[in-house]
Structure 1
Amino acid sequence: MEIKIDNLDVSLGNKKIINALNFIVNPGELLGIIGPNGSGKSTLLKTIYRVLKPDNGAIFFDGINIKERSYRETARQISVVAQHNDFSFDFTVENVVIMGRAPHKSILERNSREDYLMAADALKRVGLDGYEDRHFNTLSGGERQRVILARALVQNTDALILDEPTNHLDIKYQLQLMSLVKSTKCTTIAAIHDLNIAAMYCDRIVVLKDGRIKGIGTPENIFTSEMIKDIYGVKAEIFRTDKGEIHIFFSSARI
């Protein structure tokens, strides 16, 4: 699925957070969104998955303005892994994952055997095989994040929206999660805090600062010492291996 962001402005209260953004995410592409805190990453993602409404501009899924679709139809097209996932009720892990099937069902339709098999398979894919009967609110932050990814997988959409997906995860599960996302071949937009993770997995990078695009391109083109100093205010050295892999090393020296 192609996602097009067309001249998008978004405000929170009286403050404009997103300013005239324009970019296209190609079908099957993993696009990373990077930038310092307050740059507008989460606001942009929430607007794409329709928690927030734009002041101006539009968002298109495969050429169709999302305003022309119901929220239920949108949920059949994109699934979301958000930063914070808390429930007022103490659902089991299986209950949480199988919620991903809701957009595909009528209001009174019951879960099928296939739904439960899909949930079990998704949990296995995120390394939580056998967790079905565990209570979600008893899990660690990293385990919760993997459960929410499993829910997104069973939603069976053409696109994924990920807001800081590797938060709370140790390095093993950071790599596992990003590899799994990459393997889905879904069109993916991911706000990523860790620049090395972004360099490893993203096809292209959008750099945000103060709600505006400061750069867009491949990791090879985007990740330079000059860019990192300009955007984050820190010194960094960029190394490339013989295989073309990018590694970013930050300096502890004062600028």
Structure 2
Amino acid sequence: MLNSHFCAQVSETPLFSLDDVTVKFGKTVALNQLSGTIPAGMHVGLIGPNGSGKTTLMRALYGAVKPNRGRIKLVGEPLDSLQPHEIATKIALVPQNQIVPQRVKVIDEVLLGRIPFLSAFATYSHSDYDLAAKALDTVGLTGVREKYSDQLSGGERQRTVIARALTQDTNCVLLDEPTNHLDIFYQHKVLSLLRRLAPNVVTVLHDINLAAKYCDWLLMLDHGKVFASGKPHEVLTESNIEHVYGVQATTIHHEGKLQYCFSVNNDKEKS
């Protein structure tokens, strides 16, 4: 049964709380009366098919989309009471679509993560440069710090943006499809590092196997509602996957984690 209410009792103060959140674009309802919490201190994955509301929910969590109805709170504080620069000191963002800067050195782009913390006319400090250098080392880009952004591969570009978010040094990192342009090695490297480095991580993922391996908690969205929430093994059941994604899943166990093989029943159309 579809469920627009989800809750995780893992912390007295959740990372995000949502009360009757509805988002519409014209006549299209992207999010439909969501109420509940996103837990703190975890790597939370937002999963679901295209059009299920994942990116809209992500954008609402950092204030880029204003709900038509309802309210979102960040660690108990109403999100709509915060100015954009205040949100940027609390939440670092890795968006899905990047604007590639022209002739900007990698180190300078990564340092942009410190902008929310600078006062007017201030320059970067030694600690700012240290944070940027550490972030570049974390994502494996120390060797290209003096290159220009337009000289990078797609995977290097994505890791540069992740390094900028890490340089922001916030308690919360939101990532919208961060593994899109990464090869297999860096898909796993980045997700494993994020799980250890950031206290709170919320990630939109299309890959169910990556979500099962690296996330502590999942929200499975379908048609603008949360269909299921909980630990990966609770959410990623074969019946849930078939209902939401329209594919048949076979569960396997690998290194203590659930992983899935998929097949399509050509005689059955996804509803």
Instruction: Say yes or no: does 1:194 pair with 2:172.
Output: no
Q: What's the C-alpha RMSD, in Å, of the aligned pairs?
A: 1.5
Tell me whether 1:23 sits opposite 2:36 in the alignment: yes
Q: Could you tell me how far apart the structure 2 residues matched to 1:10 and 1:89 are?
A: 35
Deviates more, 1:134-143 or 1:203-212: 134-143
> For the Cα contact (< 8 Å) 1:30–1:182, is it kept in 2?
yes
Once the two structures are superposed, what CA deviation does each residue of 1:69-110 show, in whole Å capped at 9, x if it has no partner? 111111010001111111354321111100000011112111
Segment of structure 1 superposing worse, 70-79 or 5-14:
5-14
8 Å Cα contact 1:9/1:18 also seen in 2: yes
1:35/1:209 contact within 8 Å kept:
yes
What's the CA shift for 1:111?
1.1
Q: Indicate how the Cα distance of structure 1 residues 22 and 137 shifts in structure 2: closer, same or farther if over 3 A, else same.
A: farther
Q: Which amino acid counterpart does residue 47 of structure 1 have in structure 2?
A: A
Tell me the matched-pair count: 254
- TM-superposed CA distance for 1:25, in Å, is 2.1
Contact 1:223 1:238 in 2 (8 A): no
Output the amino acid matched with 1:244: G
2: CA distance, partners of 1:7 / 1:77: 23
Maintained 8 Å contact 1:25/1:187: no
Structure 1 residue 195 displacement after superposition: 0.4
Aligned to 2:221, which of 208, 224, 246?
208
Confirm whether residue 67 of structure 1 aligns to residue 67 of structure 2: no
Output aligned runs, 1:31-46, within 5 Å: 31-46=44-59
Q: Distance in 2 between matches of 1:185 and 1:124?
A: 15
SS at match of 1:36: coil
Question: In structure 1, the residue corresponding to 2:145 is in which secondary structure?
Answer: coil
Partner of 1:248: 260
Tell whether the 8 Å contact from 1:35 to 1:232 is kept in structure 2 after alignment.
yes
Counterparts of 2:154 and 2:67, CA distance in 1: 31
Provide the rounded CA distance (Å) in 2 between the counterparts of 1:73 and 1:247: 39
The Cα shift of 1:62 comes to 1.4
Measure how far apart 1:211 and its partner are: 0.6
Cα separation, partners in 2 of 1:89 and 1:13, compared to 1, 3 Å: farther
Contact 1:96/1:151 (CA < 8 Å) preserved in 2? Answer: yes
Equivalent residue, structure 1, for 2:115: 102
Identity over aligned pairs, percent = 37
Are the aligned partners of 1:17 and 1:40 in contact in 2 as well (CA < 8 Å)? yes
Match of 2:99 among 65, 86, 89: 86
Q: 1:225 aligns with which of 216, 238, 252?
A: 238
CA deviation map 1:126-159 (0-9, x unaligned): 0001211211122122111111110011101011
Tell me the residue number matched to 1:133: 146
- What do residues 28-69 of structure 1 show as CA deviations (whole Å, max 9, x unaligned)? 111111010011111111111111111011111111101111
CA distance in 1, matches of 2:204, 2:157: 18
CA distance in 2, matches of 1:13, 1:153: 35
Judge conservation of contact 2:63–2:80 (CA < 8 Å) in 1.
no
> Match for 1:67: what amino acid?
D
- The verdict on how the C-alpha distance between 1:22 and 1:124 changes in structure 2, with shifts beyond 3 A counting, is same
In 2, Cα distance between the equivalents of 1:192 and 1:22? 21
1: distance between equivalents of 2:64 and 2:151?
27
Corresponding residue of 1:112: 125
Between the aligned partners of 1:141 and 1:23, the Cα distance in structure 2 is 36
